[in-house]
Amino acid sequence: MTADFKSHILQFKRPGGTSRGVLHTKETYILTVEENGRKGIGECALFRGLSSDDVPGYEEILSWFCENINAEPELLEERLKRFPSIWCGYEQALLNLKNGGSLYFPSDFTAGKASLKINGLIWMGDVPYMQAQIQEKLAAGFDCIKLKIGVDWPAEKKILTTLRREFSRDQIELRVDANGGFTSEEAKTVLRELAELEIHSIEQPIKAGNRNQMQTLCRETPTPIALDEELIGVVGISQKKQLLEKIKPQYIILKPSLIGGFSGTDEWISIADEMNIGWWITSALESNIGLNAIAQYTFTKKPKIPQGLGTGGLFTNNFPSDLVLTGDQLSMV
């Protein structure tokens, strides 16, 4: 087997606003493996400023991996377990090599016989821009909407209040994602105000790494809390158990590119199910290559609630895709 990679800089159609800043581009790496004339494609979706493997020498590690593609899997895993985006791309490439075409996890989803329900994502911006996005999602038929918050809470609260006046929680499920944008004290107030608006959940209200504070918030919160960035960089099943046993969140958000690929995600799901912690799977600004693989994987996990998958429509220079969005249903053709 041989392997090679190339970088690709995805260009946003419109800058994406989050509490961590505004995104104009998204760097990623496309991995190709070849064996006996067959090829497999995967995406090593490095997320600068967020991935635990955003470290100097990332491309050198990718080069080492490609040069040692035929090493024992145990050696590769030992070397790459701290590089979740590379491991995720490796898993994708092997699955694609095995299944061919654009297939990673053959199922009724890939056969076009089933679909995945997803939430509609509202990016940060000024109030008119956010309201325009909401109207667009509602018109398209979404009944689960996720808003990025944490930059201007009074303005964001007004948007949520207006939405809730128009639509009851039986009509529209509202999720919010703070990306760690609040302090612990601010979060207590926000959690109470979100509960008054019957918000489904809030992702990562405070910055990751403050486990004692997060534990207290999860124990006392009137609004369910979902851990997101908190999971990044936690390697090993015992460490994952320790984290969830300590904080006891209501939900966890699973981004395969950031948490060790599909095998790493499987571990988180197994632990969460044992502890009766809810979960959903979310893409992390992958190109259509990684998004396709993650969507196929997500279907195999038989999710019970709307998932946080992208649609590939954010970028001007994305790759071709078999994914199609009809209303809030993501499917393959």
Q: Is 255 a catalytic residue?
A: yes
146 and 293 part of one domain: yes
Q: Is residue 105 one of the residues assigned to a domain?
A: no
138 and 202 part of one domain: yes
47 and 131 part of one domain: no
Cα(293)–Cα(97) distance, integer angstroms: 13
151 and 228 part of one domain: yes
Cα(48)–Cα(120) distance, integer angstroms: 24
Catalytic residue among 255, 301, 302, 304: 255
Q: Is residue 27 one of the residues assigned to a domain?
A: yes
User: For 36-148, where are the E strands, in sequence order?
Assistant: 38-44, 116-117, 120-122, 144-148
* The predicted structure's pLDDT at residue 18: 66
* The predicted structure's pLDDT at residue 187: 98
Task: Write the pLDDT tens digit of every residue in 69-120.
Answer: 999 989 998 999 899 999 999 999 999 999 999 999 999 999 999 999 999 9
Q: Is 301 a catalytic residue?
A: no
Percent of the chain predicted with pLDDT > 90: 89
Instruction: Rounding to the nearest 10 degrees, give the CA dihedral for residues 90, 307, 328, 23.
Output: -70
75 and 33 part of one domain: yes
Residue 92 CB coordination number (10 Å): 31
* The predicted structure's pLDDT at residue 19: 57
Question: 16-20, 21-25, 136-140 — which one is most confidently predicted on average?
Answer: 136-140
Q: Which of 99, 125, 156 is the last residue of a domain?
A: 99
CA angle at 92 for the pair 68 and 51, rounded to the nearest 5°: 80
Catalytic residue among 26, 137, 146, 148: 148
287 and 178 part of one domain: yes
181 and 215 part of one domain: yes
Task: Write the pLDDT tens digit of every residue in 193-206.
Answer: 999 999 999 999 99
Task: Write the pLDDT tens digit of every residue in 280-297.
Answer: 999 999 999 999 999 999
